[in-house]
Amino acid sequence: MQNEMQNTENNKRIETFVDAVFAIAITLLILDVKVPTHQQLESQTLSYYLSHNWTNYASYILSFFIIGIYWANHHKISKLYISADRTFIILHIIFLLTICFLPYPTAILGDFFIDEKYRQTATSFYTAGLLAPAFMWFMIWLYASNNHKLIPESITNIYIKKLNKQFMITNIIYILSFILSFFQPTIALSISLLTTLFYLFELSYTKQENSKK
């Protein structure tokens, strides 16, 4: 009973910390949407400046939704974890590191995607930024689900294999998108974003069979 209470408390602390980091990361995104200075407006109108910085707004909105989707999915999947150990916590810290890093490639994409000279590099950097949290997400799940280490015995092996396959395919797509970004950056970016947005409609981690067959 005491161990169960301690595990519940540990999971609550992790969830609270995760929520705080997500809140910080999603807030950092807007800091890269700059207000023009009066000096910049000496050579252009405000409307021209705003209309020609659409990539900054687009990258901000896209990354905002991506981080939001990760947060929503983490809220769902965390209900499956019944305990936490040191390795699980360290994996979470690395995962959160990748989330906090995402505003940087977002800023690079927003500033340089419109310039054909830098589009490929900016897109490759951004797709790598999307791959990193997806990979760590998969590592957390593999560690927790292996032999039901940190998840209930009631979760079926069929369900575990289903998520293993889903997360693996996602990572493969991100890797292929990263490689494709060196040749077709716009297509690679579109594939990566569509893959992430898929999870907006896939919040079904708690809809699993309650007993093994």
Question: Which pLDDT does position 4 carry in this prediction?
Answer: 53
pTM for the structure as a whole: 0.88
Residue 41 domain-assigned (yes or no): yes
Question: Which pLDDT does position 82 carry in this prediction?
Answer: 92
State mean pLDDT over 179-195. 94
User: Is residue 91's pLDDT more than 90?
Assistant: yes
Residue 209 domain-assigned (yes or no): no
Residue 88 domain-assigned (yes or no): yes
Residue 163 domain-assigned (yes or no): yes
Q: Which domain holds residue 84?
A: 2-201
Residue 174 domain-assigned (yes or no): yes
pLDDT in tens, 27-74: 999 998 888 888 989 889 999 888 888 999 999 999 999 999 999 999
User: Is residue 208's pLDDT more than 90?
Assistant: no
Q: Quick one: what percent of the chain has pLDDT higher than 70?
A: 89
Question: Which pLDDT does position 102 carry in this prediction?
Answer: 97
Residue 211 domain-assigned (yes or no): no
pLDDT in tens, 4-40: 555 666 688 889 999 999 999 999 999 988 888 889 8
**pLDDT band for position 210 (cuts 50, 70, 90):** very low
Residue 127 domain-assigned (yes or no): yes
State the DSSP string of the chain: -HHHHHHHHHHHHHHHHHHHHHHHHHHHGGGGSPPPPTTGGGSS-HHHHHHTTHHHHHHHHHHHHHHHHHHHHHHHHGGG-----HHHHHHHHHHHHHHHHTHHHHHHHHHHTTSHHHHHHHHHHHHHHHHHHHHHHHHHHHHHHGGGSSS-TTS-HHHHHHHHHHHHHHHHHHHHHHHHTTT-HHHHHHHHHHHHHHGGG---TT-S-SS--
In the chain, how many domains are there? 1
**pLDDT band for position 203 (cuts 50, 70, 90):** low
Residue 113 domain-assigned (yes or no): yes
